[in-house]
Amino acid sequence: MRPKKMKDEIKRSFFTYAIVVVTVIFFVYLLLLSIVFRLTIIEPNEANHEHVLKDIETGFAAYYSGMDDLISASTIHSFLETGEQAGDAYKILYDFRNHQSFHADFLLLDGDEEVVATSFYSGSDVEARSSVALNALTYKLEGAGVVGTRLTSPLRDVHHRSSYVFSAAIQGEEGLLGYLFYFLDSPSFPDQHYVYVTDLFDNVIFSTYSYGLTTLGKLDLDLKGNWITYEGEMFYKTQTTLSKQGIQVITATPMSIYRLLVLYGVLTMLISSIAILLVVWFVAPKIVAKSLQPFDGLVALMASKKKYSHFDHEPNYEEVEIIYEEYRSRVSEVERLLDENQIIMEKKRISELKHLEAKFNPHFLFNVLEMIKYELMEDPQSASDMIVKTATLMRYNANFGQTLVPLEEDIRYLNDYFSLQKMRYGKRLHYEIIVNPLSILEEAFIPKLLIQPLIENAIKHNIHKTHSLFIQVVIKTDGNELTIEIRDNGRGLDEKKVAEIKAIYLGEKEASEQTGLHTVHQLIQLLYGEDYGLMMRSHVEDGTIMTLTLPLQKG
C-alpha cells in the first residue's frame, strides 16, 4: 500500500477540523435556539398560564363564596319581601361586585321573576331577563346553591359582553324569594398570548382572540400535546382543567417569529459553513506547502541517510531545528540500542552455554546412563523413553540462536526435564505445572531456558533436606504482564540468607553460587528493562517462592 503524503493528510486534517468546528458551532447554535425557545416561548407561556389560572381560580372562588353570603343576607331578604332597604341592598350588591377581580353586572329577580335590582344599563336588563338560557336556568336553581354557567348566547350592553353567569336562588322562611345573577364581563388578559377559557366541551367562555373559534363559539383546535397547528400557524400550548369549576384554561403562544428566526438562522449557518469549508479546501494546500518547506528539506536530509549532513534552513524555524537535533539524537540512540542488543544476544549465548555445562555435566550424564543401563535389563521401553528425553534435552539446550520460544515448547522441555529427575529421585520428587489461561500456551513467547535454572535450584537445595519435595510451577497473566512462580515445600530460608541471595542475583555481590539466578534476572532486565525481573520470597519451614515477571509477548 502506497504511504500517504503528509501534505495531503494535513489538508484533510484541516478540512476535517473545519467540519468539526462548523458542526460544533451549528450544534451550539441549535442549543442556543433551544435556550431562546425556553426563555421566550415556554417560560413566558407557563408564567402567563399560571397567572391566568390563579386569577380564574381565585375570582371564581370569590363569586361562589360571596354569593353564598349574599343570598343569605337579611338586607336582600327584606328588600325582596317588603321592598324596603333598597339602597342598602344596592350598596351590598355593588360593593360585592366592585371588590372582585372580575367585573360583572348583577341582576336581582323577585319570586315572580321580575327585575327588582340591576347594574345593567337601561334596555340591557330586559335583554338579560328575556335570555332563553336565563329562563331555563331559573327552573334549575332552587336548592342548587350557587351555579356557574356558560351562556350560549352572550349578553351585551353598551360597554360589556357577558358569556358566563353565576346564579343562585334566594330562599326565605316561607319559600322562594327570588334569584340573583352576576354576569361576568370578558376579563382582560395579556395580548401577547392567546388565552381561551372553555367549558369541558370546548365551548368558549372567554378568549383574547376569535382565532380558532367557530361561529357557534366552539374552540376548533386540536388540543393534544403541547403544539397547536391551525391554518399554517404554530403555537406552543399549556392547558389545565379545573374540574371543580368545570372549565379549561388554555394559553397559546404564537411561534411565527421564532420559526423565522430558526429558518433564517439555519440557512445562514449552512451558507456560512459551505463558504468556510470551500475556503479551507482551496486555501489550506497553499498554506501547508509554504509552511512545510523547511520540513521538506529536513525530510530530504533524512532520506539521504547521511549522519552528519549539513541542513540548510532558515534560522527562524526553531521547531525544525529541534526536530533536526532530535533526529540526530535518535540516530545515536538507535546505534546505542543496536550495541546493547548485540550485548544481550551475546549474554544469551553465554547463558545457554553455561546452562548446557551446568545441566549436562559428565556426572549428570553418568547418572542418566547408569539408569538407562539398568532400565535396559528391567524395562527396555522405559529405557527407550529415557534416551529420547535425554536426546531432546540435549538438542533443546544445544539449539542456539532462538532467544524467544513459544511457552508451550518451553513447558514440553520442563516436562522432559522433570521426568528425568523423577526417574532419578523417584517418589522423593513430585511436580505440577499450572497454566492459566491455557490460551497463552500457543500465544505467549518467553526467553528460552528461563524457567529451568530455577527448578534446578529448587531440586539442588531441597531434595536432600526433605522426605518428599513438591515443586509447583504456576504461569498466569496479569493484565499485560506474564507471571511465572516456582514454588517448593522445602525447608525455606531465614531473612539473612534470603537477603544474601538477593544481593547475588541483583548483581550487588559476586559469588560462585546462585549464578543461575543472577543470569536469569540479568537476562530479563536486559531484554525488557528494570521494571521486570526476579523476586524471591522464603520463610523457614515454609518453602520458597521464586517469581519471574516479564511483559506478555504474543507471536
CATH of the domain at 137: 3.30.450.20
Report if residue 299 sits inside a domain. no
pLDDT at residue 485 in the model? 97
Q: Which of 58, 89, 62, 56 is nearest to 75 (CA)?
A: 89
Residue 322, pLDDT score: 76
Q: Which of 185, 218, 245 is the last residue of a domain?
A: 185
The residue segments making up the domain with residue 94 are 71-185
The CATH number of residue 458's host domain is 3.30.565.10
Where are the strands (E) in 287-443, listed by range? Answer: 404-406, 429-436
Beta carbons within 8 Å of 157's beta carbon, 6+ residues apart: 105, 120, 121, 123, 124, 127
Tell which residue, 450, 486, 481, 473, has the closest CA to residue 554: 481
Question: Is 240 inside any structural domain?
Answer: no
Provide mean pLDDT across the span 301-328: 62
Residue that finishes a domain, picked among 156, 185, 214: 185
CA angle 348, 354, 359 (to 5 degrees): 125
Pairing relation of β-strands 429-436 and 469-478?
Answer: parallel
Is there a domain that residue 78 lies in?
yes
Express each pLDDT in 52-92 by its tens digit: 888 888 888 999 899 999 988 989 998 988 888 889 999 99
Contact 67, 166 (CB under 8 A): yes
**pLDDT number for residue 269:** 80
Classify residue 433 as exposed, middle or buried by CB count within 10 Å of its CB (0-12, 13-18, 19+).
middle
Nearest partner of 486 among 473, 505, 502, judged by Cα: 473
Domain boundary (170, 185, 200) is at 185
The mean pLDDT of 177-198, rounded to a whole number, is: 82
Q: Is residue 163 part of a domain?
A: yes
Secondary structure of 127-174 in HEC code, one letter for each residue: HHHCCHHHHHHHCCCCCCCCEEEEEEEEEECCCCEEEEEEEEEEEECC
The answer to the question of residue 550 being in a domain is yes
Kind of pairing between the strands at 194-199 and 544-551:
unpaired
**Total number of domains in the chain:** 2
**Within a domain: residue 42?**
no
Within a domain: 500: yes
Residue 254: cis peptide before it, omega within 30 degrees of 0:
no
Confidence of residue 513 (pLDDT cuts 50, 70, 90): low
Amino acid at 19: I
For residue 369, tell me if it sits in a domain: no
Q: Does pLDDT of 3 surpass 50?
A: yes
